[in-house]
Structure 1
Amino acid sequence: MKTTQTIAIIGASGSMGAAISKSLAKGNYRLLLCANDRSKVEAVAGDIKSSLPAAAVEVVDCSKEASWEADIIVVAVPFAAEQEVAAKIKEVANQKIVISIANPLNDTYDGLVTAPDTSAAEELQKLLPNAKVVKAFNTTFAADFATTVIDGKQADAFIAGNDEEALQTVSELVSTAGFNPIVAGNLAVSGTLERMQLLLIQLNGKYNYNWLAGWKILHN
């Protein structure tokens, strides 16, 4: 029998962190939610419990404490906060899957703050050299988690990483959240995925998608 995996979601009070938490609560996972504002995290946990009474959800004060218990760590914080989070969890993230969802956008949403030859995920991997960093959930808007089928089609969600087993595990998480997982390649592909979401954000502003839009690969 497969053991229940424990997932720490750091930044669970934010729009993306809350959306990921609520989606993964539908699966056979134990969730440890944490963020700087405990009251906001407790509100997210309360929402989950009201709709899924059997969900295994706990609110934890400290990102390090949550990560110590976790098999998988979701870093659901803006790119600017990744370095601070990495410093807190570094010693407890060894050999664990760490999911980078960040898109390193500049303040005007017309470019990225990372150098052309790197990405938020690759920078996080440098900060956590002994963790298995996987890029995921960055090509989806928070609103998509409640509506993963858009215009009759299930939105794709792209994943990148260097560890095959970690990619398989994260693919299962993406499926639980309701998206169609597509492994795009190794961690170096993260820069492309982050630029894809920059484009989608720009298109959202131009065409008023109301933050409900996603990517779909059409193929035969």
Structure 2
Amino acid sequence: MKISIFGKGNMGQAIGKNFGLAGNTVSYYDNQNHAETLADIVVMAVPYPALASLAKEYADQFAGKIVVDITNPLDFDTWDSLVVPADSSAAQELQQLLPNSTVLKAFNTTFAATLQSGKVGGTATTTVLVAGDDDAAKQAFKAALAGSPLNILDAGKLKRARELEATGFLQMTLAASKQIGWTGGFGVIK
């Protein structure tokens, strides 16, 4: 399968590594190179403020695609709140901007280091929680990562993205305050 990733930073590279380990072909895009055609799965490994402009610029190319939002819409000035309404999420906002796409929320509760190593805190397998309204899209996402070291769990409908973003926010604030390391975080033990 082919995967398109917007963003070449730590998260984009770590996510791409796992899709590559699973046997997929990964293409990266940033503001230096324009994507002419996009794969069936497109990962938005960009800061939250970039989602709206990318959705506008690539609306036609995103049509019919699975678009994976990894953002945590954190107020980076204060590190004290999320910047989306309490009854919504960045992923739900993106779905409204891309009505002809299927938006999934994933990767936002993991750090790049845990995606690179496949482990949280060096012991627990890194778990990626995915939320979305289309079960077939979630299955395609899970299948695309089947050969990676990651554990993929279905977190429910897209409205669960709000809880995923709150969890990602909490994990980031713990790491930023040096109470946990960037190689740690929340893990799921089965």
Q: What's the counterpart of residue 153 of structure 1?
A: 124
In the alignment, the residues of structure 2 paired with residue 109 and residue 174 of structure 1 have an alpha-carbon distance, to the nearest angstrom, of 32
Query: What is the 5 A alignment of 1:1-220?
Result: 5-11=1-7, 13-37=8-32, 61-63=33-35, 65-67=36-38, 70-107=39-76, 108-150=78-120, 151-218=122-189
Q: Look up the SS of the partner of 1:19 in the other structure.
A: helix
Q: Look up the SS of the partner of 1:25 in the other structure.
A: helix
Deviation, 1:208, is 4.0
Confirm or deny: 8 A CA contact 2:106 2:130 kept in the other structure: yes
Q: Look up the SS of the partner of 1:79 in the other structure.
A: coil
Q: Percent identity?
A: 36
Deviation, 1:177, is 4.1
Confirm or deny: 8 A CA contact 2:69 2:103 kept in the other structure: yes
TM-score, L = length of structure 1: 0.80
In the alignment, the residues of structure 2 paired with residue 209 and residue 127 of structure 1 have an alpha-carbon distance, to the nearest angstrom, of 35
Aligned residue identity for 1:10: F
Deviation, 1:199, is 0.6
CA RMSD of aligned residues (A): 1.6
Q: Look up the SS of the partner of 1:33 in the other structure.
A: strand
Deviation, 1:143, is 0.9
Confirm or deny: 8 A CA contact 2:91 2:105 kept in the other structure: yes
Aligned residue identity for 1:172: A
Structure 1 runs of 4+ with >3 Å offset: 173-177
Q: Look up the SS of the partner of 2:43 in the other structure.
A: strand
Structure 2: unaligned runs, 5 residues or longer: none
Aligned residue identity for 1:181: I
Task: Tell me which structure has the larger Cα radius of gyration.
Answer: 1
Q: Deviations over 1:117-176 (max 9, x none)?
A: 110100000010010101111110111112222342212211000111101111234444
Using CA pairs below 8 Å that are at least 6 residues apart, which structure has the higher relative contact order? 2
TM-score, L = length of structure 2: 0.91
